[in-house]
A = this chain, B = another copy of it.
Amino acid sequence: MHTTSHTAVQRTDVMASRIPGGSSAASAHVQRIADELKLLQATLNPARRIVHAGDVLYRYGERFEQLHVLNSGCFKLLSVSESGDEQIVGLKFRGDWLGFSGIARGSHACDAIAMDTSEVWTLRYDALLQACAEEPRLMALVHEAMSSEIMRDREAKTALCTLPADARVATFLHDWAGSLAMRGLRTDQISLRLTRAEIGNYLGLTLETVSRVLSRLVRARLIAFNEKSRRDICIPDFQALGSFTSRPAAVGLH
């Protein structure tokens, strides 16, 4: 795992002009993440480093001592069962925290693997606790991050429990694009950094089903493939894709 330059200015702020669902809410969120990072930097001066796709930030079972915050890039969280099969249990983007699940047992509960070149800020947990005691805003920030994670996990569970395959995949794409939008990135053109098998794993489907659903969404004009790579997906109408979530019907089949 590289620890090269810590300056890594990420060129994110292309920005809010392109954001679906109202740029004001999105840019507010962008600002909020920036403020949070600034607060972190001021109170804890976290170690920064760049990691690359495939790099492992921590592994299941490793002693928990640090938390991480993503300044850019994206990560997947991988839970490996004793029988050896893997389950993707989370996806993380700029502003998200990594490692919360390790606090309870004192050892990490999953693997954290970069899906793209990313800048990670790392802070010692004991230092964080101490800083939280002195800076109430910092404590509130940490609690909000954990609370958000709990909320999103529940939404994911609900999707798994209630949505058929088509809506599940559509929701997945919509959420991914929404995650980027809230961070000020473009959403008309998203680059999934997962194979069909990984998407299926994350959604409780087989890779074939994912592939078929994507083809169906293309036929329904809700998405389009980039001609270069079939992992790059165009979303002409962000809202339409979202509304498909609730109405799994009304797709021209066949």
Question: Residues of A with Cβ closer than 8 Å to B?
Answer: 79, 81, 83, 85, 87, 89-90, 100-105, 109-110, 129-130, 132-134, 136, 139-140, 142-151, 153-154, 156-158, 160-162, 201-204, 246
Q: What are 12 pairs between A and B in contact, CB < 8 Å?
A: A79-B154, A87-B157, A89-B158, A100-B146, A101-B151, A102-B147, A110-B154, A129-B143, A133-B133, A133-B136, A146-B147, A157-B157
| Given the contacts A103-B144, A132-B139, A79 and B158 also touching, CB distance less than 8 Å | yes
Is A150 touching B146 in the complex (CB atoms < 8 A)?
yes
Contact of A160 with B162 at beta-carbon distance under 8 Å, contacts A79-B154, A101-B150, A139-B132 already known: no
Closest to A246 in B: B83
Report B-chain residues with C-beta under 8 Å of the C-beta of A90: 154
The closest CB in chain B to the CB of A88 belongs to B161
Enumerate chain B residues within 8 angstroms of A100, measured Cβ to Cβ.
146-147, 150
Q: Assess A139 versus B129: contact at CB under 8 Å? Given A149-B150, A157-B89.
A: yes
Residues in B neighbouring A157, C-beta threshold 8 A: 87, 89, 153, 156-157, 160
Tell me which residues across on chain B come within 8 A of A134, comparing CB atoms.
133
Whether A101 lies near B133 (C-beta < 8 A) is no
> Which residue of the partner chain, among B101, B142, B146, B162, contacts A204 with CB atoms under 8 Å?
B162
The 6 lowest CB-CB distance pairs between A and B, nearest first, are A103-B147, A161-B204, A104-B147, A153-B153, A160-B160, A89-B154
- Find the B residue at minimum CB distance from A99: B147
Chain B, residue nearest A142 (CB): B143
Task: Return the chain B residue nearest A153 by Cβ.
Answer: B153
Which among B102, B136, B158 is the interface contact of A87 at CB below 8 angstroms?
Answer: B158
Min distance, Cβ A149 to any Cβ of chain B, angstroms: 6
- A202–chain B nearest beta-carbon distance, Å: 8
